[in-house]
Amino acid sequence: QSVLTQPPSASGTPGQTVTISCSGSSSNIGFNDVYWYQQLPGMAPKLLIYKNNQRPSGVPDRFSGSKSGTSASLAISGLRSEDEADYYCAAWDETLDGGVFGGGTPLTVL
């Protein structure tokens, strides 16, 4: 049972917009920044979003992040087949005094 809750799966067709949610609490998302990672099959994770909504250089603007209260979301617009991957949210938890990840959401591009 992960501290941050993500949907167990997500899917969409090419060109669509998909949103993945990440639900936490006042001790993690409600208090600290949220980060998003993309893990392609067989690969190491890659940073997608930092500080809730900032994109590292090289990450397409099709990827966007937002945060409100104790929840955060990752939106992927103009869905492409190469977006098929696992997506994870992460934050620092003040109560646990440690980092926490969501359980991950595998995205399928139909």
Partner 1 sequence: QVQLVESGGGVVQPGASLRLSCVVSGFTFSTYAMHWVRQAPGKGLEWVAVITYDGSNKYYADTVKGRFTISRDNSKNTLYLQMNSLTSEDTALYYCGRKGSAGGWYFPFLDYWGQGTLVTVYS
Residues forming contacts to partner 1 in the complex (CB under 8 A) are: 2, 32-33, 35, 37, 39, 44-47, 50-51, 54, 56, 86, 88, 90-92, 96-104
68: β partners: 71
54 Cβ contact list (under 8 Å, min separation 6): 65
Residue 7 vs 77, nearer CB to partner 1: 7
Alpha-carbon span 110 to 67, nearest angstrom:
27
Extract the tokens encoding 13. Answer: 């067709």
**Least Å from the CB of residue 81 to partner 1:** 23
**Least Å from the CB of residue 14 to partner 1:** 26
